[in-house]
């Protein structure tokens, strides 16, 4: 990690309906990276937001008897509530209907038009007259049926502006070659090249006249800007690009000392990996350093998507199980970059195994023993008295190093596993050292003190490494070890000797054990669309 600063973003989500657990997944991962960077002492700017234009919103609003702005205002209110509930630490929230975005997107369009990168042409597609909608080949399928109303569609044309992609293909390929870490997983790069670029990339349609809920083009008012030129540019308009206050933009986008990282789902990779670098090059701006593509959370064998049911509302899930259990599950259960599944059984089991049993019990037992054997005061470090002390210390030190290397490479699932290795090793250490036997022999007091000190150190270190994920439990853990959560510094993870003299405070369970016979049906009930 050689950069000084980090700019990290989620995609902006589309408020045509409520958010589901897939959105919570992406935003939670992004939040964990941001919190990790800050914990390590780096400056980090974290952006999320809402993509508020488009025909679907215009229609859904009309169906609900609301203006599009009123409609999105209400749904975006729900975004804010959910991110607050999940303790998302974003620095800003951009809405594409805000003036700061609209005006700059219009400027961007004008610049590209003036430069000859955008031209007026004809958009040809499948059109459903009753729905007033254009659809793609894939959307209408082999039977050429409107995916919304089921009526047959016809080929139709409308005047539209296009972005000249061919002008930037060569330099995009060169950019991929010079920046092998740009796309993660790496397989996505080959997919971009072989599936989209090599067969011949069409120019990208960037305007529409068939609906009006969008950013009007100044040069031709019957057109509104269509999707990607509006949506992707949020990453720079939010920082004040092309505004009177470009300080954040200069610091977190243009400065090569800042690493820019977009986190996104596979369904929008093409737009982020192909068109976004092209837009930026057209504007003469830096390209992002990294784009991380996460997999899909599947539920019960079916892919989660906005258009299908069978998705769990994260809100009641967090309300019932708490923010830590949900964040931990999302970050731990699905290996970043791969598809994973959400099942009620796995959720309950993961929470019980890792949080209630492994971490919660370790803390509980350690604090109880320190109370019982040392009057509640953590004994000072006694050195490495035997090979098990040495082994535990070396697991702690190795895990810290692994954790940092993994998270620097944004490998979150593996990083959590490294932190949990400490917890699991410490639980084994209790079995090996049998403190209840040592306690019976006054001559073994030094050994007993060493065991208590090592257990407290293992707990502290694991708690610190898990802090970006367990936003409430880690602080509770520190408090039970007699440490002030506001004052403990990350640097202490490198020091296995610093604890001693703190007075432990027995508190409530970090994470209650969940009863599967009650909680599994509860989650199934949520998944069926109830709340
Ligand atoms: Zn239709």
DSSP states of 272-310? IIIIHHHHHHHTT-PPPSEEEEE-PEEETTEE--TTSS-
Mean pLDDT of 270-279: 97
The rounded distance, in Å, linking the Cα atoms of 31 and 25 is 10
Tell me how far the alpha carbon of residue 207 lies from the centroid of ligand 1, in angstroms.
21
Tell me how far the alpha carbon of residue 67 lies from the centroid of ligand 1, in angstroms.
21
Q: What is the pLDDT of residues 14-72, one digit of tens each?
A: 998 778 888 999 999 999 999 999 999 999 999 999 999 998 899 999 999 999 999 99
Shared domain check, 471 and 386: yes
Is residue 146 a part of any domain in this protein? Answer: no
Tell me how far the alpha carbon of residue 133 lies from the centroid of ligand 1, in angstroms.
7
Shared domain check, 481 and 351: yes
Tell me how far the alpha carbon of residue 129 lies from the centroid of ligand 1, in angstroms.
7
What CATH number did the domain enclosing 46 receive? 3.40.50.620
* CA 286 to mean position of chain CA atoms: 23
Tell me how far the alpha carbon of residue 159 lies from the centroid of ligand 1, in angstroms.
21
Whether the Cβ atoms of residue 36 and residue 407 lie closer than 8 Å to each other: yes
Tell me how far the alpha carbon of residue 308 lies from the centroid of ligand 1, in angstroms.
18
Is residue 391 a part of any domain in this protein? Answer: yes
Q: What is the pLDDT of residues 432-490, one digit of tens each?
A: 999 999 999 999 999 999 999 999 999 999 999 999 999 999 999 999 999 999 999 99
pLDDT band at 339 (very low <50, low <70, confident <90, very high): confident
pLDDT at 310: 55
Is residue 69 a part of any domain in this protein? Answer: yes
Tell me how far the alpha carbon of residue 223 lies from the centroid of ligand 1, in angstroms.
22
Tell me how far the alpha carbon of residue 57 lies from the centroid of ligand 1, in angstroms.
15
Shared domain check, 281 and 175: yes
- 3-class secondary-structure state, position 126: strand
pTM above 0.75, yes or no: yes
Shared domain check, 269 and 329: no
Shared domain check, 365 and 282: no
Peptide bond into 185 cis (omega under 30): yes
Shared domain check, 478 and 430: yes
Residues 6+ apart with CB under 8 A from 124: 155, 156, 157
Is residue 151 a part of any domain in this protein? Answer: no
Mean pLDDT of 361-368: 98
Tell me how far the alpha carbon of residue 261 lies from the centroid of ligand 1, in angstroms.
38
Work out how many domains the chain is built from and give that number.
Answer: 2
Tell me how far the alpha carbon of residue 414 lies from the centroid of ligand 1, in angstroms.
46
Shared domain check, 323 and 424: yes
pLDDT at 530: 67
Residue bearing tokens 């209907």: 97
Domain end, chosen from 294, 311, 339, is at 294
Name the strand (E) or helix (H) holding 450.
helix 445-465
pLDDT at 292: 95
Round the average pLDDT of the chain to a whole number and report it: 93
pLDDT band at 137 (very low <50, low <70, confident <90, very high): confident
Range of the domain at 410: 319-494
Q: Is the pLDDT of residue 307 over 60?
A: no
Tell me how far the alpha carbon of residue 52 lies from the centroid of ligand 1, in angstroms.
22
Is residue 152 a part of any domain in this protein? Answer: no
Tell me how far the alpha carbon of residue 79 lies from the centroid of ligand 1, in angstroms.
29
Q: What is the pLDDT of residues 204-233, one digit of tens each?
A: 999 999 889 999 999 999 999 998 999 999
Tell me how far the alpha carbon of residue 121 lies from the centroid of ligand 1, in angstroms.
25
Mean pLDDT of 82-90: 97
Shared domain check, 393 and 471: yes
Q: Measure Cα distances from 252 to 8, 108, 255, 256, 289 in Å.
A: 9, 19, 6, 9, 12
Shared domain check, 336 and 430: yes
Mean pLDDT of 381-408: 97
Which pair of tokens denotes residue 454? 């090592």
Mean pLDDT of 414-421: 97
Is residue 385 a part of any domain in this protein? Answer: yes
Q: Is the pLDDT of residue 176 over 80?
A: yes
Nearest-5° Cα angle at 353, 316 to 344:
35
Tell me how far the alpha carbon of residue 145 lies from the centroid of ligand 1, in angstroms.
8
Other beta carbons within 10 Å of 383: 10
Shared domain check, 283 and 397: no
Tell me how far the alpha carbon of residue 49 lies from the centroid of ligand 1, in angstroms.
30
Tell me how far the alpha carbon of residue 173 lies from the centroid of ligand 1, in angstroms.
39
- 3-class secondary-structure state, position 361: helix
Tell me how far the alpha carbon of residue 209 lies from the centroid of ligand 1, in angstroms.
17
The rounded distance, in Å, linking the Cα atoms of 330 and 351 is 11
Q: Is the pLDDT of residue 274 over 80?
A: yes
Tell me how far the alpha carbon of residue 285 lies from the centroid of ligand 1, in angstroms.
40
pLDDT at 312: 82
Is residue 162 a part of any domain in this protein? Answer: no
- 3-class secondary-structure state, position 37: helix
Shared domain check, 237 and 94: yes
DSSP states of 53-69? -SHHHHHHHHHTTS-HH
What CATH number did the domain enclosing 447 receive? 1.10.730.10
Which pair of tokens denotes residue 156? 């139709």
pLDDT band at 298 (very low <50, low <70, confident <90, very high): confident
Domain end, chosen from 238, 261, 294, is at 294
Whether the Cβ atoms of residue 282 and residue 119 lie closer than 8 Å to each other: no
Tell me how far the alpha carbon of residue 128 lies from the centroid of ligand 1, in angstroms.
5
Tell me how far the alpha carbon of residue 50 lies from the centroid of ligand 1, in angstroms.
26
**In what order do the strands lie in the sheet containing 302-303?**
302-303, 297-299, 340-342
pLDDT band at 302 (very low <50, low <70, confident <90, very high): very low
Is residue 133 a part of any domain in this protein? Answer: no
Tell me how far the alpha carbon of residue 63 lies from the centroid of ligand 1, in angstroms.
14
Name the strand (E) or helix (H) holding 234.
helix 234-237
Shared domain check, 474 and 340: yes
| Percent of the chain whose predicted confidence (pLDDT) is above 90 | 82
Tell me how far the alpha carbon of residue 301 lies from the centroid of ligand 1, in angstroms.
29
Tell me how far the alpha carbon of residue 443 lies from the centroid of ligand 1, in angstroms.
84
Tell me how far the alpha carbon of residue 180 lies from the centroid of ligand 1, in angstroms.
43
Other beta carbons within 10 Å of 433: 23
């Amino acid at each position: 990690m050689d950069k000084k600063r980090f700019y990290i973003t989620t995609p902006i989500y589309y408020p045509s309906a409520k958010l589901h657990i897939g959105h919570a997944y992406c935003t939670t991962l992004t939040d964990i990276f941001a919190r990790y960077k800050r914990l390590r002492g780096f400056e980090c700017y974290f952006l999320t937001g809402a993509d508020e234009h488009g025909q679907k919103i215009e229609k859904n609003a009309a169906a609900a008897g609301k203006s599009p702005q009123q409609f999105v205002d209400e749904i975006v209110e729900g975004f804010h509530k959910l991110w607050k509930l999940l303790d998302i630490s974003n620095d800003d929230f951009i809405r594409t209907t805000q003036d700061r975005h609209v005006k700059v997107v219009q400027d961007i369009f004008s610049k590209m038009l003036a430069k000859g990168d955008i031209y007026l042409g004809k958009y040809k597609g499948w059109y459903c007259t009753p729905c007033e909608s254009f659809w793609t080949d894939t959307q209408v399928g082999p039977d050429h049926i409107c995916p919304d109303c089921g009526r047959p569609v016809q080929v139709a044309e409308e005047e539209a502006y296009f972005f000249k992609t061919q002008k930037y293909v060569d330099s995009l390929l060169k950019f991929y070659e010079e920046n092998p870490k740009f796309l993660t997983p790496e397989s996505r790069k080959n997919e971009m090249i072989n599936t989209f670029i090599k067969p011949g990339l069409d120019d990208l349609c960037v305007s529409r006249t068939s609906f009006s809920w969008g950013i009007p083009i100044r040069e031709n008012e019957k057109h509104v800007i269509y999707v990607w030129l509006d949506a992707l540019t949020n990453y720079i308009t939010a920082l004040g690009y092309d505004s009177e206050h470009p300080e954040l933009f200069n610091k977190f986008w243009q400065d090569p000392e800042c690493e820019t990282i977009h986190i996104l789902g596979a369904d929008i990779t093409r737009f982020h990996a192909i068109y976004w670098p092209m837009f930026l090059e057209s504007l003469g701006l830096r390209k992002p350093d990294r784009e991380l593509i996460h997999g899909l959370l599947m539920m019960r064998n079916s892919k989660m998507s906005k258009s299908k049911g069978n998705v769990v509302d994260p809100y009641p899930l967090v309300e019932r199980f708490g923010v830590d259990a949900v964040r931990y599950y999302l970050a731990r259960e699905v290996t970043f970059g791969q598809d994973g599944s959400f099942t009620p059984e796995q959720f309950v089991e993961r929470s019980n195994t890792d949080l209630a049993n492994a971490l919660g019990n370790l803390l509980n037992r350690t604090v109880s023993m320190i109370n019982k054997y040392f009057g509640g005061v953590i004994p000072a470090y006694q050195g490495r008295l035997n090979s098990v002390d040495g082994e535990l210390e070396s697991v702690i030190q190795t895990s810290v190093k692994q954790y940092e290397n993994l998270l620097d490479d944004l490998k979150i699932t593996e990083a959590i596993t490294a932190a949990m290795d400490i917890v699991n090793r410490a639980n084994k250490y209790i079995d090996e050292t049998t403190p209840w036997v040592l306690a019976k022999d006054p001559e073994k007091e030094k050994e007993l003190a060493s065991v208590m000190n090592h257990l407290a150190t293992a707990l502290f270190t694991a708690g610190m490494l898990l802090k970006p994920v367990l936003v409430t439990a880690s602080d509770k853990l520190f408090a039970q070890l007699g440490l002030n959560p506001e004052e403990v510094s990350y640097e202490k993870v490198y020091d296995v000797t610093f604890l001693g003299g703190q007075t432990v405070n027995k508190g409530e369970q970090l994470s209650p054990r969940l009863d599967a016979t009650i909680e599994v049906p509860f989650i199934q009930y949520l998944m069926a669309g109830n709340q």
